[in-house]
């Protein structure tokens, strides 16, 4: 048996996978979120441990097995968080999360210190973002100097859970890519960049040891194993960030496939065998947690935007989808820029949501509902075009996230992207990916060295009833609607970079 863990913003999920790589038990345990002014988003790391142990016990119970049957554990975690530990391994400050933007001013200062966007791309292979770990460390240095002075180790959330399980301070290239002091081309720490972030800290001492994606962090500590009922030699795999584990869990580990998530925010990423550095930095050149690279685009307003419009009209999810289906392609001429939380791609942090083209004929609830769905999808299409400018053109799309449950939204995505798509049968892609990476790691330790592609082929199935193909007539109609969206976007935000290709 193998265990996959996904420590997210809202909960920690655990899946138990059997020798046939099928999920036989799963559970989750929620954690709260500390929110404050200026974009503060924090969680004490102990919450993650408590949630993991609760979900682990429930998943094992559901599987109907003894925990002693488990051979390896893999951990996925929310990217970009900061977990700063003292010499005893105790956090000096609550973990600051990926969506914490309290350090925006520090991020701007770091970009300038690195020589602007061009300097960032040259040194890191990507452009620093306010959510990355680097600016959080700089923020702690400026605002909580006493806590900063006690730092002995800086970990990411998934690294911290690995540390709790094994006592080892390790990292791997995928999740490390999002720290802001990691060279994503060479897959190595940039100690000179870290010196700009934290000049008093010795990177050789503070930064965790890097390991390969198939290598183990270590074995579960005796104290933890006893509490969880595990055997004495359970392996903890390298793990990785949630997007990297999601790539494994959707079978997106070879060029040609795109994973697209319709979640609170939106992500789309593809696998490449070489770095993919964009000239404007809008594509994040992350490393993959199975080897290779995982160029990624993140938009901030997807189901978060549709939920606001749905609630505005007092609709439940089913009624909202019915309203979207009643409206025509192009929403009767209504164009939505759904930037209710600002936007990351394109880089418009101060943007606000807006509707355009309203008149006395199209001002109808169903048009506004469809416009916000189309606007969120056009934002992701903009990201697809950015990837296309780097030579990444997928043959098919693996669609995940809450929005993927809507047949009408699936069809809109297929038509806007002009690509066939399907949803994986397992919704917890990151947790499944972590379990598969654990099985891959354990296979290497046993001398078998099974290819990860073989494991993914066995474990990742697609829902046949979600296969959605683009319709030629609608593709043509959406080519016009997308051009209208880009025209409004350029008019409202003239600094927006033009996309390299269009339908």
- Which domains occur in the chain, in start order? 2-243 (3.30.420.40), 252-423+463-496 (3.30.420.40)
Active-site amino acid positions: 242
Confidence (pLDDT) at 503: 46
The answer to whether 133 and 110 are in contact (CB under 8 A) is no
Two structure tokens written together for 70: 């488990």
- The structure tokens 């109808």 sit at 364
Nearest-angstrom CA–CA distance, 27 and 11: 10
Mean pLDDT of 187-200: 98
pLDDT band at 258 (very low <50, low <70, confident <90, very high): very high
pLDDT higher than 70, residue 383? yes
Two structure tokens written together for 101: 């933007």
Mean residue pLDDT across the chain: 95
Torsion from C-alpha of 250, 255, 256, 259, nearest 10 degrees:
30
Two structure tokens written together for 244: 């990297």
pLDDT band at 39 (very low <50, low <70, confident <90, very high): confident
3-state per-residue secondary structure call for 396-419: EEEEECHHHHCHHHHHHHHHHHCC
pLDDT higher than 80, residue 501? no
Triad 158, 162, 166: Cα angle to 5°? 175
pTM of the model: 0.92
456-490 pLDDT per residue, tens: 999 999 999 999 999 999 999 999 999 999 999 99
Evaluated on CA atoms 171, 163, 213, 245, the torsion sign reads negative
Cα–Cα distances in angstroms (integers) from residue 173 to residues 45, 136, 159, 215, 383, in the given order: 22, 19, 12, 12, 23
Q: Which residues contact 14 (CB under 8 A, 6 or more apart)?
A: 3, 4, 5, 6, 26, 27, 28, 52, 55, 56, 58, 59, 431
The answer to whether 98 and 118 are in contact (CB under 8 A) is no
- Structure letter (DSSP) for residue 502: -
Cα–Cα distances in angstroms (integers) from residue 115 to residues 110, 138, 156, 188, 280, in the given order: 9, 17, 26, 20, 14
Mean pLDDT of 224-237: 96
pLDDT higher than 60, residue 324? yes
pLDDT band at 99 (very low <50, low <70, confident <90, very high): confident
pLDDT higher than 80, residue 500? no
- The structure tokens 């997210």 sit at 8
10-29 pLDDT per residue, tens: 899 999 999 999 999 999 99
Confidence (pLDDT) at 393: 87
3-state helix, strand, coil in the chain (%, to 5): 40, 20, 35
- Identify the H or E element spanning 296: strand 293-299
By the 10 Å C-beta count (0-12 exposed, 13-18 middle, 19+ buried), 336 is classed as buried
Nearest-angstrom CA–CA distance, 60 and 46: 21
Nearest-angstrom CA–CA distance, 377 and 319: 20
Cα–Cα distances in angstroms (integers) from residue 456 to residues 239, 242, 452, in the given order: 16, 16, 6
337-377 pLDDT per residue, tens: 999 988 989 988 889 999 999 999 999 999 999 999 999 99
Mean pLDDT of 200-223: 97
By the 10 Å C-beta count (0-12 exposed, 13-18 middle, 19+ buried), 273 is classed as exposed
| Residue 196: φ, ψ to 5° | -70, -35
pLDDT band at 502 (very low <50, low <70, confident <90, very high): low
- Structure letter (DSSP) for residue 105: H
3-state secondary structure of 343: strand
Nearest-angstrom CA–CA distance, 422 and 47: 35
3-state per-residue secondary structure call for 133-201: HHHHHHHHHHHCHHHHHCCCEEECHHHHHHHHHHCCCEECHHHHCCCCCEECCCCEECHHHHHHHCCCC
R_g (Cα) of the chain, nearest Å: 22
Which alpha helices (H) appear in 216-289, and where do they start and end? 222-228, 242-249
Looking at the chain, the whole-number percentage of residues with pLDDT higher than 90 is 88
Report the candidate in 98, 192, 94, 208 with the shortest Cα–Cα distance to residue 152.
208
Beta strands in 411-484 (DSSP E): 421-422
Mean pLDDT of 434-460: 94
The answer to whether 469 and 420 are in contact (CB under 8 A) is yes
pLDDT higher than 80, residue 91? yes
Looking at the chain, the whole-number percentage of residues with pLDDT higher than 70 is 99
Nearest-angstrom CA–CA distance, 105 and 158: 26
| First-residue to last-residue Cα distance in the chain | 46
Evaluated on CA atoms 251, 163, 90, 12, the torsion sign reads positive
Cα–Cα distances in angstroms (integers) from residue 98 to residues 81, 83, 109, 111, 447, in the given order: 5, 11, 19, 18, 37
- Structure letter (DSSP) for residue 340: B
pLDDT higher than 90, residue 113? yes
């Amino acid at each position: 048996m193998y265990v996959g863990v996904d420590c997210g913003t809202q909960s920690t999920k655990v899946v138990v996978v059997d020798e046939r790589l099928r999920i036989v038990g799963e559970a989750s345990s929620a954690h709260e979120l500390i929110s404050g002014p200026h974009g503060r988003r924090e969680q004490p790391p102990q919450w993650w441990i408590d949630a993991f142990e609760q979900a682990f016990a429930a998943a094992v119970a559901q599987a109907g097995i003894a925990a002693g049957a488990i051979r390896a554990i893999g951990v996925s975690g929310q990217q970009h968080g900061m977990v700063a530990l003292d010499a005893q391994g105790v956090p000096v400050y609550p973990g600051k999360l990926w969506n914490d933007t309290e350090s925006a001013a520090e991020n701007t200062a770091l970009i300038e210190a690195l020589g602007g966007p061009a300097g960032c791309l040259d040194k890191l292979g990507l452009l620093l973002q306010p959510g990355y770990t680097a600016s959080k460390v700089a923020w702690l240095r400026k605002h909580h100097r006493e806590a900063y002075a006690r730092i002995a180790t800086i970990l990411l959330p998934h690294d911290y859970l690995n540390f709790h399980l094994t006592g080892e301070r390790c990292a791997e290239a995928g999740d490390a890519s999002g720290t802001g002091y990691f060279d994503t081309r060479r897959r190595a720490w940039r100690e000179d960049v870290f010196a700009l972030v934290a000049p008093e800290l010795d990177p050789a001492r503070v930064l965790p040891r890097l390991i390969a994606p198939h290598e183990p962090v270590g074995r579960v500590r005796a104290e933890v194993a006893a509490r969880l009922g595990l055997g004495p030699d359970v392996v903890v795999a390298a793990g990785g960030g949630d997007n990297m584990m999601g790539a494994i869990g959707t079978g997106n580990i070879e060029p040609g496939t795109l994973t697209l998530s319709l979640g609170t925010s939106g992500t789309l990423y593809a696998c490449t065998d070489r770095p993919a550095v964009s000239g404007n930095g809008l594509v994040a050149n992350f490393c993959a947690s199975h080897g290779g690279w995982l160029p990624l685009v993140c938009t901030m307003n997807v189901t978060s935007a549709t939920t606001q419009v749905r609630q505005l009209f007092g609709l439940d999810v089913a009624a909202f989808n019915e309203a979207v289906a009643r409206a025509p392609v192009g929403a009767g001429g209504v164009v939505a820029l759904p930037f209710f939380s600002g936007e990351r791609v394109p880089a418009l942090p101060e943007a606000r949501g807006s509707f355009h083209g309203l008149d006395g004929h199209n001002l109808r609830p169903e048009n506004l509902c469809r416009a916000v769905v189309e606007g969120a999808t056009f934002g992701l299409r903009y990201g697809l075009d950015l990837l296309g400018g780097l030579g990444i053109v997928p043959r098919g799309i693996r669609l995940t996230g809450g929005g993927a449950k809507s047949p009408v939204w699936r069809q809109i995505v297929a038509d806007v992207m002009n690509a066939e798509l399907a949803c994986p049968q397992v919704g917890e892609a990151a947790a499944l990916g972590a379990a598969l990476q654990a099985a891959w790691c354990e296979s290497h330790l046993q001398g078998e060295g099974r290819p990860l592609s073989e494991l993914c082929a066995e474990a990742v199935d697609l829902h046949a009833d979600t296969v959605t193909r683009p319709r030629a007539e609608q593709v043509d109609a959406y080519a016009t609607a997308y051009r209208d969206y880009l025209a409004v976007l350029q008019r409202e935000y003239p600094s927006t970079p033009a996309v390299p290709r269009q339908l």
